A and B are shown apart, each in its own frame.
Chain A
Amino acid sequence: MNIEKISEYEFKIPKHGAMRVDGIVFVSEAMMQEIRNDPCLDQVVNVATLPGIVGNSFAMPDIHWGYGFPIGGVAAFDAESGIVSPGGVGYDINCGVRLLKTQLQRSDILPHLKTLTASLFSTIPTGVGSHHRGHHFSQQDYRDVLQQGAGWGVKQGFGEEEDLHYIEEGGRLPQADPSLVSVRAMERGQGQLGTLGSGNHFVELGYVDEIYDEKVAKALGLQLNQVTVIVHTGSRGLGHQVCSDHLEMMIKAATKYKIDLPDKQLCCAPIQSDEGKKYLGAMAAAANFAFANRQLVTFYVRQALEKVLGASGLGIRVVYDVCHNIAKFEEHQVGGISKRVLVHRKGATRSFPAKHPLVPSSYREVGQPVLIPGDMGRYSFVLVGTNKALEQTFGSTCHGAGRVMSRHKAKNSTRGRNVEQELLDQGIYVIGASRATIAEEVPWAYKDVANVVDAVEGAGLSKKVVRLRPLGVIKG
């Protein structure tokens, strides 16, 4: 494959064959060497062949192989003539990250670290088949959740009105149509609202250990040694089923609309077709479920910390909440003209700059927070969006570290080792729903997220603000 280096962190795969646009991959030279022969670059090419694509087929520095689209893939399609593809969103619709800040200092929680982590673990249902304890929601509640997203949670007393100002899209996609969510998807989601799930999902108690931009950190209300909480989860079984249901429908639709698919998992339908509209309505409903899920998990985080430290003085507030797997209608400049496009971000984060109207008013001077979690042993980052991202990548950036080791290899690498103790020796207390989860999620199974973040900063797609270190982690 012909790959041209454009700049230190940008490579181009020139349009060839059936490609309608160029592929642009934001990686360092060293990263490009690692992926040069990886099928994920073929996926960047495949996405570039889809009808109605505008701009380029993009890949972020955490690019790795996914189903259809690569993970770390971004592509925008003309809202009138383009397509929508479930493979461009992924199975875990609106899997995302929420960052909470507190009024606590690291020194306030160190004596209680084990109790606090245990309290998080006992309060937030985790792991496979996890169902919430204590709250039972009606069928009507679930329909409202799918329509109202995080706002439903706030209305029910699971948070503050203020929380909603600090969530991408205000925690609700308006085009949601709960009637398009199948009975099976509803049944899979029932009982899973307010649960973490398994795999790479987690809640992490940590603190700000380094500040890169004082002014922006101050605007986000973040300071050195301040205690923070990261929540990483998505739309659970409901979202997974919505994706599965529509993949089958889209395979048929692609044939019906004569769309050439280089890979079956790129199956798609025109945005304006019946199939396209049905997927978008169901996907938005699943996205709203995920927003509400993170809202409820936030409520449980508040409860868990209050149980140990008492209710006063915690001051737990939402810094921001971002989607990592989503397709959204947005207005962008394309060739100097404002255009409505459907931006697919699959394992990618929105990265809107200062002054953008969709950035919360209190952050309007600094830009939208971009939350990039790393592995449980190292660190995570908070960045902000940039004008360059808005101009070049439809306002998009990376989403995380990406695995470097398969789950089996990771598990095998822990034989004869006590991972929990090793992490505890580093000051990190970890509780997992099973030993297997912890073994699969060991820090060395992931790439160093600092390299990914440096690459997006080097490419100008977002700007580093602070680094967060883990102290207590619960894994599903």
Chain B
Amino acid sequence: MNQKSCYHPIEHTGDLGVEVQGGSLEELLQNASWALVDTIADASTIQPKTVVQWEFSGNSPEEMLVHQLEEILYQLDAKGLIFSSFLINFNEDSIGICQAKGEPFSRESHGFKTEIKAITYHHLKVLKEEGGFRATVIFDV
């Protein structure tokens, strides 16, 4: 499954949302990360020039998803970085470790689409199903 086909946008009058799939929780989080970036800009135009690593945690898969995606918004606003490749693993303490590859954001070369203000808890779901995981998340625009 390529990353473009691992998510689809959800219709929502005020904001934007995505439904994402993944074979494992790690893959789901990776794909959701990519879906968020692809909502902000054209993710396929981002070159993996810089590597950044961060940790995230949560009391549930939903919280982990929110925290991982919030880190991406933080990196964009605070560091001016945007990523297109995410490798996520969990350590023995269930702390998520994300290795992200990307480059400084450029409105001209990254096909800017829209700014996302926040990741919301509305309709937030992470479901384990046959063959993997499925998540729904709404972004505040």
Chain A contacts to B: CB under 8 angstroms: 64-67, 71, 91-92, 127-131, 184, 187-190, 192, 197-199, 236-237, 240-241, 243-244, 247, 264-265, 403-409, 433-434, 436-437, 440, 476
Name A436's closest neighbour in chain B (CB-CB): B113
Cβ B80 vs Cβ A240 within 8 A: no
Cβ B74 vs Cβ A241 within 8 A: yes
A127 with B120: in contact, given A64-B13, A190-B78, A407-B16 (CB under 8 Å)? no
**How many angstroms from the CA of A92 to the CA of B114 in the assembled complex?**
15
Chain B 6-27, CB-CB to A under 8 Å as 1, else 0, gives: 0001011111100000000000
Cβ A240 vs Cβ B14 within 8 A: no
B118 at the interface (CB under 8 A from A): yes
Minimum CB–CB distance from B37 to chain A (whole Å) comes to 11
Chain B contacts to A: CB under 8 angstroms: 9, 11-16, 40-41, 70, 73-74, 76-78, 80, 82, 105, 107, 111-115, 117-122, 140-141
Cβ B13 vs Cβ A405 within 8 A: yes
Cβ B117 vs Cβ A188 within 8 A: no
Cβ A128 vs Cβ B13 within 8 A: no
Residues in A with CB closer than 8 Å to B117 are 91-92, 199, 237, 240
Cβ A128 vs Cβ B40 within 8 A: yes
Minimum CB–CB distance from B108 to chain A (whole Å) comes to 10
Name A409's closest neighbour in chain B (CB-CB): B11
Residue in contact with A436 in the complex, picked from B11, B14, B112, B122, CB distance below 8 Å = B112
Residues in A with CB closer than 8 Å to B140 are 67, 91, 240
**How many angstroms from the CA of A244 to the CA of B73 in the assembled complex?**
12
Cβ A244 vs Cβ B70 within 8 A: yes
Cβ B13 vs Cβ A244 within 8 A: no
Cβ B80 vs Cβ A131 within 8 A: yes
Cβ A128 vs Cβ B107 within 8 A: yes
Residues in A with CB closer than 8 Å to B105 are 128-129
Residue in contact with B114 in the complex, picked from A71, A198, A237, CB distance below 8 Å = A198
Residues in A with CB closer than 8 Å to B121 are 67, 247, 264-265
A440 with B80: in contact, given A67-B140, A244-B70 (CB under 8 Å)? no
Cβ A188 vs Cβ B114 within 8 A: no
Residue in contact with A406 in the complex, picked from B11, B80, B107, B118, CB distance below 8 Å = B11
Cβ A128 vs Cβ B76 within 8 A: yes
Cβ A199 vs Cβ B141 within 8 A: yes
Residues in A with CB closer than 8 Å to B73 are 188, 237, 240
